[in-house]
Amino acid sequence: MSHARSVAKFQRDLNHEFSDPKESPLPAAARQAFRALPYYPVGYRYCVPARLVRDSTAAPFAMPTSTARRPMYRKYGDLYFTLAGQALKLSVYQNLELMTRPGFADYLFVPFTDLTNGHGSYGGGRYLDLREPTAGSRTLQLDFNRAYNPSCAYSPAYSCPVPPVENRLAVAIPAGVQSDY
């Protein structure tokens, strides 16, 4: 599947989730008026390979969230990549509770901020979801066209992980879901 088609499918799936009363973070009134999320134009330049350096010694920690809730995470490793000519790094995490659910043992989570936050994307940061690489691989694709807002961007009823200081990028990434917030 081409990159543009796979991102279009991601957007359709996310829009479907937002229109589904069982899955949507939108309050009922906003959901009834919902048509589609605003997205930046898809740009292949925002899909980059990242070198994974595993961190097998990281102790579990309580991830700060937008509320008093503190879910347990562990740092899975660091992702090194180049974007807009800059060498960058993001830490990648695993939610310990989520890892116990069927189908999520290999789920990886990248909360981040960039210079678009509050200026085209959600002010509190955005997220990327990944899966562990195949055995022996040390590379993951970071596709910022799949960056999405946390549920708390749409309703204060949600408790969302706050991107840690080490995941604050000093570059604008105009890709993924936009926001007026």
| The pLDDT of residue 100 | 93
Is residue 141 within 8 A of residue 79, CB to CB? The reply is no
Structure tokens at 59: 């102790």
Considering the entire predicted model, what is its pTM? 0.94
**Tens-place pLDDT, residues 82-128:** 998 999 999 999 999 999 999 999 999 999 999 999 999 999 999 99
Structure tokens at 138: 């040390």
| The pLDDT of residue 41 | 96
Q: How far is CA 42 from the centre of its chain?
A: 16
Q: What is the 3-state secondary structure (H, E, C) of 37-90?
A: CCECCCCHHHEEEEEEEECCCCCCEECCECCCCCCEEEEEEEEEEEECCEEEEE
DSSP 8-class letter at 151? G
| The pLDDT of residue 136 | 84
Q: How far apart are CA 93 and CA 157, in angstroms?
A: 24
When pLDDT is cut at 50, 70 and 90, the band that residue 39 belongs to is very high
Dihedral, CA of residue 32, residue 25, residue 129 and residue 172, to nearest 10: 80
State the DSSP H helix or E strand holding residue 5, giving kind and residue range, or none if neither.
Answer: helix 3-19
When pLDDT is cut at 50, 70 and 90, the band that residue 181 belongs to is low
- 1 has pLDDT over 80: no
Structure tokens at 58: 């990281």
Q: How far apart are CA 29 and CA 153, in angstroms?
A: 16
Q: How far apart are CA 3 and CA 42, in angstroms?
A: 9
Q: Is 155 helix (H, G, I), strand (E, B) or coil?
A: coil
Q: Give me the percent of the chain exceeding a pLDDT of 90.
A: 90
